[in-house]
Protein backbone atom coordinates (compact mmCIF):
# COMPACT_ATOMS: atom_id res chain seq x y z
CA UNK A 1 0.00 0.00 0.00
CA UNK A 2 2.83 2.38 0.87
CA UNK A 3 4.46 1.96 -2.54
CA UNK A 4 1.15 2.58 -4.29
CA UNK A 5 0.56 5.72 -2.21
CA UNK A 6 4.06 7.01 -2.94
CA UNK A 7 3.65 6.38 -6.68
CA UNK A 8 0.27 8.14 -6.69
CA UNK A 9 1.64 11.12 -4.74
CA UNK A 10 4.61 11.45 -7.09
CA UNK A 11 2.26 11.36 -10.07
CA UNK A 12 0.14 14.14 -8.57
CA UNK A 13 3.17 16.43 -8.36
CA UNK A 14 4.40 15.41 -11.79
CA UNK A 15 0.99 16.03 -13.36
CA UNK A 16 0.80 19.50 -11.80
CA UNK A 17 4.23 20.41 -13.18
CA UNK A 18 3.32 19.16 -16.64
CA UNK A 19 0.02 21.05 -16.51
CA UNK A 20 1.88 24.30 -15.82
CA UNK A 21 4.34 23.51 -18.61
CA UNK A 22 1.47 22.89 -21.04
CA UNK A 23 -0.18 26.18 -20.08
CA UNK A 24 3.09 28.05 -20.58
CA UNK A 25 3.60 26.37 -23.95
CA UNK A 26 0.11 27.36 -25.07
CA UNK A 27 0.81 30.97 -24.07
CA UNK A 28 4.08 30.92 -26.01
CA UNK A 29 2.27 29.53 -29.03
CA UNK A 30 -0.38 32.26 -28.83
CA UNK A 31 2.30 34.93 -28.55
CA UNK A 32 4.18 33.51 -31.53
CA UNK A 33 0.98 33.64 -33.61
CA UNK A 34 0.42 37.27 -32.62
CA UNK A 35 4.02 38.16 -33.43
CA UNK A 36 3.68 36.40 -36.78
CA UNK A 37 0.50 38.36 -37.52
CA UNK A 38 2.43 41.55 -36.79
CA UNK A 39 5.24 40.43 -39.10
CA UNK A 40 7.82 40.24 -36.32
CA UNK A 41 8.68 36.52 -36.55
CA UNK A 42 8.64 33.89 -39.25
CA UNK A 43 6.14 31.08 -39.60
CA UNK A 44 8.78 28.55 -38.51
CA UNK A 45 8.68 30.15 -35.06
CA UNK A 46 4.91 29.60 -34.94
CA UNK A 47 5.27 25.97 -35.98
CA UNK A 48 8.01 25.36 -33.43
CA UNK A 49 5.99 26.79 -30.55
CA UNK A 50 2.89 24.87 -31.62
CA UNK A 51 4.88 21.63 -31.78
CA UNK A 52 6.26 22.32 -28.31
CA UNK A 53 2.78 23.08 -26.97
CA UNK A 54 1.35 19.87 -28.42
CA UNK A 55 4.22 17.83 -26.99
CA UNK A 56 3.61 19.38 -23.56
CA UNK A 57 -0.13 18.64 -23.77
CA UNK A 58 0.63 15.05 -24.78
CA UNK A 59 3.03 14.64 -21.85
CA UNK A 60 0.37 16.02 -19.51
CA UNK A 61 -2.23 13.57 -20.84
CA UNK A 62 0.16 10.65 -20.40
CA UNK A 63 0.91 11.77 -16.84
CA UNK A 64 -2.81 11.96 -16.06
CA UNK A 65 -3.25 8.43 -17.38
CA UNK A 66 -0.39 7.19 -15.22
CA UNK A 67 -1.90 9.00 -12.23
CA UNK A 68 -5.24 7.28 -12.79
CA UNK A 69 -3.52 3.91 -13.14
CA UNK A 70 -1.71 4.51 -9.85
CA UNK A 71 -5.00 5.50 -8.21
CA UNK A 72 -6.48 2.17 -9.30
CA UNK A 73 -3.39 0.37 -8.00
CA UNK A 74 -3.72 2.17 -4.66
CA UNK A 75 -7.42 1.39 -4.49
CA UNK A 76 -6.71 -2.27 -5.17
CA UNK A 77 -3.77 -2.39 -2.74
CA UNK A 78 -6.04 -1.13 0.03
CA UNK A 79 -8.22 -4.18 -0.49
CA UNK A 80 -10.93 -2.72 -2.65
CA UNK A 81 -12.62 -4.76 -5.33
CA UNK A 82 -14.45 -4.15 -8.56
CA UNK A 83 -18.10 -4.22 -9.54
CA UNK A 84 -19.76 -7.55 -9.03
CA UNK A 85 -17.48 -8.56 -6.17
CA UNK A 86 -18.92 -8.58 -2.69
CA UNK A 87 -16.66 -6.83 -0.22
CA UNK A 88 -16.85 -8.14 3.32
CA UNK A 89 -17.47 -5.65 6.06
CA UNK A 90 -14.54 -4.71 8.24
CA UNK A 91 -14.65 -4.93 11.99
CA UNK A 92 -12.45 -1.85 12.29
CA UNK A 93 -14.50 1.34 12.17
CA UNK A 94 -13.21 4.12 9.94
CA UNK A 95 -14.32 7.56 10.96
CA UNK A 96 -16.26 9.66 8.48
CA UNK A 97 -13.48 12.27 8.60
CA UNK A 98 -10.86 9.74 7.45
CA UNK A 99 -13.18 8.49 4.72
CA UNK A 100 -13.58 12.05 3.45
CA UNK A 101 -9.81 12.62 3.44
CA UNK A 102 -9.33 9.60 1.20
CA UNK A 103 -12.21 10.62 -1.07
CA UNK A 104 -10.77 14.13 -1.47
CA UNK A 105 -7.35 12.69 -2.31
CA UNK A 106 -8.80 10.73 -5.23
CA UNK A 107 -10.70 13.74 -6.59
CA UNK A 108 -7.61 15.97 -6.81
| 3-state secondary structure (DSSP) of residue 1 | coil
Q: How much of the chain is helix, strand and coil, in % rounded to 5?
A: 75, 0, 25
In this predicted structure, what is the pLDDT of residue 35?
96
pLDDT of 5-36, one tens digit each?
788 788 888 999 999 999 999 999 999 999 99
pLDDT of 68-106, one tens digit each?
888 888 887 777 655 555 555 666 666 656 656 556 665
In this predicted structure, what is the pLDDT of residue 7?
82
Q: In 3D, which of 1, 2, 11 has the Cα closest to residue 69?
A: 11
In this predicted structure, what is the pLDDT of residue 11?
86
| 3-state secondary structure (DSSP) of residue 80 | coil
Residue 29, classified by CB atoms within 10 Å of its CB into exposed (0-12), middle (13-18) or buried (19+), is buried
Tell me which of 107 and 49 has the higher pLDDT: 49
Amino acid sequence: VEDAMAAWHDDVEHTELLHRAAEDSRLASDRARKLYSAGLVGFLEVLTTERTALAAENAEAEARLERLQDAVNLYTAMGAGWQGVTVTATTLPVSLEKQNVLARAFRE
